[in-house]
Amino acid sequence: MSRWWRNHVEMLVRTLPLLDERQAASLATPTAELVAAVLNGIPREDTVQAVACAQLREIRRYIKAHILDRDLSPAGIALAFGMSPRKLAYLFSNDGGVASCIQKLRLELARQALRDPAQGHKSVADIGLEYGFVYGHNFTRAFQRLYGMTPREVRAIAQKNIIDHASDTQSWFDRVSLWGR
């Protein structure tokens, strides 16, 4: 419990200066409930929810920090946080499970890479592999299920938009350069 409290306080110290008044105020109740849980040691329903919220936030932060680790798994995450896989599954039940949360984050990173012109030299399969999808067809299927488009379609649209934007910029530049004549 004290580890959760320490992590919560560290997070508050880092983020409070960045928050507006409304956002900071929304942290008051969960923080007070977490303090009560640490001091009392008696779990109440509202205290249990505050602790679960703090745990979930810490675990999400851990997942984001380790998203590219090939061995990132629900069992490894549960072990890292000293909890049972069942408790971890309960915390992520609203997200469709831990594995689903990991997959969504990896797919979002892959989508960003597909849209990035600097990564245009990489094949779709290479990007899928980089983000944890060993088999290209599994990557394509999961990607299409989440975004409604294949990775190739997303890349093609991004490349078209870059080309269209470049031609718009060029024509604007051409028009402006004529003003001085």
pTM of the model: 0.66
Q: Tell me, rounded to whole angstroms, the distance of Cα 98 from its chain centroid.
A: 12
Q: Answer yes or no: CATH 1.10.10.60 is held by domain 103-179.
A: yes
Domain segments of the chain: what residues?
A: 2-96, 103-179
pLDDT at 97: 93
pLDDT digits (tens, 9 = 90+) for 25-38: 766 777 776 776 66
Q: What is the pLDDT of residues 86-111, one digit of tens each?
A: 999 999 999 899 999 999 999 999 99
Q: Under 8 Å CB-to-CB from 43, ≥6 apart: which residues? A: 37, 51
How far is residue 2's CA from residue 66's CA, in Å, rounded to a whole number? 23
